[in-house]
Structure 1
Amino acid sequence: MNQIGQPEEEPGMSFLDHLEELRWHLIRAVLAVVIAATIAFFLKSFIFDVILFGPSKGNFWSYNMLCRLSNFFGVDGGFCFEEFPFTIQSRTMGGQFSAHIWTSITAGFIIAFPFIMYEFWKFVAPAMHESERKHAKGFIFVTSILFFIGVIFGYYVVTPLSINFLGKYKVSEIVLNEFDLSDYIGLVRTTVIASGLIFELPILIYFLTKIGLVTPKFLITYRKYALVIVLILSAVITPPDIVSQIIVAVPILILYEVSIIISKLIFKREIEIKS
C-alpha cells in the first residue's frame, strides 16, 4: 500500500504488460484443462458408461429418490419405471470419437475449475486494496464449492428431469425415440455446465455490487420478476408437475436471496469506505 491508500502495482506495468500477464494466466488455465481432459480421455468407460449414461437408466439414483418423493406427495411424476423407451445411437462416422473428445474437454474444464479461478484471482488481486484481498481470501474455495454444487445439482436433478420428460415424450406411437449420441451428450453437458455457472450468481452479484452496477434495492425491487423467470424456467426444463418445478426452483430462489444479503453487506462496506 502507498501513502494515499491505493493498491500497489508493479512499477512500469503498461497496458501491453497487463495483456501479456493476462495471456500467461490464460495459457496456464488452458494447460490445466488440457491435462485434466487428457486424464478424462483415458477414463472413457467410467465417464460414459457410469456418469453420462447413468441418467438414461431406470435404476439411476435420482429416479429412485424422485419416485419415493412422488409417492410421498401422492402425485404421479412418472419416475417409477425400469427402463426408458428410447435408444441412443451414433449416425456419423466420427460421431463417437467427436463425442469422446468434447466430453473429455468438458470434464477437463470441470476438474480444472478451481485452478482456473486461481489464475483469475491472481490476475485481479494486484488491483485490489489490501483489505479487499484479506476479505476475499476464500474466493477460490467459495467459487469452486458453488460451481461443484451446481454441477451436482444439474447432474442429479435437472438432467434426470429433462431426460425423463423428453425421453418419454411422444407425438404419436408411430414415432420411435432414437436419439443421436451428440444430442444426448449435448443435453447432459449443457445442463451440467449451465447449472454450475448459475450457482455462481452470488459471486457475480458480489462483483457487480462492488463496481456499482447492482444495488440491494435493485435486487429487492426486481425480486418478483426474478421469481416469475425462475418459475417459467423450471416449468420449461422439467415435466409438467408441481413437484419437479419446486425441486428446480427452490435452490435458485435461495441463491437469489443469498445474493441480496451479499449485495447488502458489500454495499454497506463500500459506503463506509467512502465516508
Structure 2
Amino acid sequence: MNYLVASTKGREGKIYRVLSGKVFELPEDLDNPKTYNSDYKLEDDEWFYIPDFSNEDYCIEFLKREFISTDYDQMGTIDIKNLLFLCSYQEGVYYFQKITPSLIVNKKWFKIGEPVIENQSPIIVINEIPDAIYEESEDTLYFKNISSLTSIFKGIIELYKEATQKETEEFLKSDFIELEDGYDALQVKTANRKRIALAMETIRGFSTREKSTIYSYIKDYCSEKLSFDEEESKFNIKNEDELKHLLWGIEQRYYTTPVGNEKMVANSVSKV
C-alpha cells in the first residue's frame, strides 16, 4: 500500500503515519539525470541525482530499513510548527516534501460539495512536485534544489560549493547586514562560505514579506547572539560566529522543543 508519513523536528524527532493513499506522481523526466554540480543550472525537465545514496553519511535511517507502516504510530494532535517534512511511500519510491512556513495556510476554507466553513486548523499545502525522490530499487536520490534538503538530510550541505570571494563580498554588502570591528570577506572561512552560497540561493526565493518574516524570526532566536540595529534594520556582524548564526537563521534551523520549551538549532543540536 501507499502511505504518507510526517517527521517531527529535533534530536527526538519521530515519524508518524498520516494517511494511506497515493500523493505524488512519478515524474516522466527522471531518465536523464545530471550528477550534482552546484554550478550547473537545471533545465525545467532535468533533475540532479546521487547514486548509491544509502551509503552516504547523510542518508537518514528511515531510508535504510524496510518500510513497514505498522512501525509508525498514527499521527494525532501535533503542533504543525514542529513538523520537519512529509514523505509519501509509494511502492518502493519515497517522495519528500520539506515543511516551510509558506506551505502552512491559516485561512478560512471550505470543500466544494461540502460548503461548511472551516477555520479551526491550519492547512499544509502539498506541492505538485516533491523536493526529493528516492528510488529504493536503484538506491538513487533525485532532487532539483539542494537547499530544500539540508534540514532533511543532515550533512548534505557538504556537496554545496563555497561562495567565491566576490559572492562573499556581495552577500556581506546585503542591506540587512552591517559589518563591525574590521570584520570583512577575507576573514570568512570555508564553513561559512558554504553557508553563504546556500543562503544566497535560499533568500533569492523569498518575497519581501517572507524576508521580513525571516528577519523577525532571526531576531527572536538570536537576541543573545546577534545585535540588531532597529533604526537601520540591520544585523551587526563582527565575527565568524555571528555570521554563522545569521546564516543558520536564513535557513530556518532554529526551533523550540515542545517539551521543556528550549531553543535549539537543528543539525548540531546545541542550545541557542
TM-score > 0.5, shorter chain as reference: no
**Bigger RCO of structures 1 and 2 (CA < 8 A, at least 6 apart):** 1
Q: TM-score of the superposition, structure 2-length normalised? A: 0.27
Larger proportion of helix: 1
Q: TM-score of the superposition, structure 1-length normalised? A: 0.27
Larger proportion of strand: 2
Structure showing greater radius of gyration is 1
